[in-house]
Amino acid sequence: MSRYFPEPIFEHGRSRARVGILLVNLGTPDAPDAPALRRYLAQFLSDPRVVEIPRLVWWLILHGIVLRTRPAQSAKKYATIWQEGGSPLRLFSEAQARALEVRLNHDVPESERLCVRLAMRYGQPALPDAVAALKAQGCDRLLLLPLYPQYAASTTASSQDALFDVLKLWRNVPALRTVRHYHDDPGYIAALKGRVERFWAVHGRPEVLVMSFHGVPQFTLEKGDPYHCECLKTGRLLAEALQLNREQYRISFQSLFGRAEWVKPYTAPMVEDLARSGVRHIQVVCPGFPADCLETLEEIGMEVKAAFLAQGGQVYHYIPALNDDPDWLDALANIARANLGGWWPPVLEGEDLTGRQQRAEERVAQFAGPPLQ
Write the CATH number for 213.
Answer: 3.40.50.1400
Indicate the pLDDT class of residue 367, thresholds 50, 70 and 90: very low
Count of the separate structural domains present in the chain: 1
Instruction: Tell me whether residue 180 is exposed, middle or buried, using C-beta atoms within 10 angstroms of its C-beta: 0 to 12, 13 to 18, 19 or more.
Output: middle
Instruction: Tell me whether residue 301 is exposed, middle or buried, using C-beta atoms within 10 angstroms of its C-beta: 0 to 12, 13 to 18, 19 or more.
Output: buried
Phi, psi of 307 (to 5 degrees): -65, -40
User: Which residues on neighbouring strands pair with residue 211, listed in sequence order?
Assistant: 251, 285
E strand map for 169-279: 175-178, 208-214, 249-254
Q: DSSP letter for 296, please.
A: I
Asked if the structure places residue 115 within a domain, the reply is no
Asked if the structure places residue 178 within a domain, the reply is no
pTM over 0.75: yes
Asked if the structure places residue 232 within a domain, the reply is yes
Asked if the structure places residue 248 within a domain, the reply is yes
Domain that holds residue 226: 186-319
Asked if the structure places residue 38 within a domain, the reply is no
Q: Per-residue pLDDT averaged across 261-288, rounded?
A: 98
Q: Which amino acid is at 18?
A: R
pLDDT digits (tens, 9 = 90+) for 160-204: 999 999 999 999 999 999 999 999 999 999 999 999 999 999 999
Asked if the structure places residue 328 within a domain, the reply is no
Q: Which amino acid is at 337?
A: R
pLDDT digits (tens, 9 = 90+) for 355-364: 555 655 665 5
| pLDDT for residue 371 is more than 80 | no
d(CA 57, CA 206): 46
Mode of pairing for the β-strands spanning 249-254 and 281-285: unpaired
| pLDDT for residue 231 is more than 80 | yes
Query: What rounded mean pLDDT belongs to the chain?
Result: 92
pLDDT digits (tens, 9 = 90+) for 297-314: 999 999 999 999 999 999
Indicate the pLDDT class of residue 12, thresholds 50, 70 and 90: low
Asked if the structure places residue 16 within a domain, the reply is no
Asked if the structure places residue 151 within a domain, the reply is no
